[in-house]
Amino acid sequence: AHRCTRSCVQDSVFSSVCRFSQIVGCQVRRDPPDSTKRYTRWINQLTPEQLLTQGVPEDLLFFYEHLRKGGGVIRVDQSLLLYRYHPQAATHSVLEATIWTHRVRFLEERALPHWAAFTIWNAGKQGRRLYRSLTAANRRKVVAFCDVDENKIRKGFYCHEESQERPKPRIPILHFRAARPPFIICVKLDLTGGAFEDNLRSLHLQEGQDFLHFS
């Protein structure tokens, strides 16, 4: 349940940013205030560029169709929306697997055609899940997984056991500094005390060109 504050209607900022082909959003406050802290911090701190590269709105299919038709996204950098959390919210009825499938298909439609090869950042559960969810053609573009976990790196490779190919594909697992962009990043943000974010920043990459978040 979402409730706009009075300034939603009164604030003149809308007249300055509203465009015919743009979706206009804003920053939010949560009710209760401590619900989904990481998610709230994430959506409120996105840069204008990240609204397109990291955006995963609730109305996912509407959002994707809007982008397919050439629409854009703008955020008003004020907290104009009270975003209420409660266990009976309709959003909890949406199967995670359904959302995952749509996200993977959109990734394959919009980003992967531009990349001849790429690395999946995360040799763990989520990275392997993404690899298995890709079409066979896009799986062949995956040149490596990368990680910081020494145990995974020492293993040396991930074998796609479910593959019908013979021999079964074996994808190298590298330290992130030895891997080559572009990256599809399957690491959740704001969970490592800034360590992951520092590692990513140290590579001096450009989001949207050298990497995309998929977490």
Question: What backbone phi and psi angles, to 5 degrees, belong to 108?
Answer: -70, -30
Residue spans of the domains in the chain: they are 2-90, 95-213
Residues 39-48, mean pLDDT to the nearest whole number: 80
Q: What's the DSSP call for residue 112?
A: G
Say whether pLDDT at 55 is over 80: no
Beta strands, E only, 57-124: 72-84, 118-121
Which pair of structure tokens corresponds to residue 195?
A: 């360590």
- The token pair at 142 is 């995956």
pTM of the entire predicted model: 0.68
Q: Which pLDDT tens digit goes with each residue over 85-130?
A: 777 765 665 667 778 888 899 999 989 999 999 999 999 999 999 9
DSSP code of residue 128: H
Longest dimension (CA), the chain: 64
Confidence label for 20 from pLDDT (cuts 50, 70 and 90): low
* Angle at CA of residue 21, ends 16 and 25, nearest 5°: 60
SS (H, E, C) 84-99: ECCCCCHHHHCCHHHH
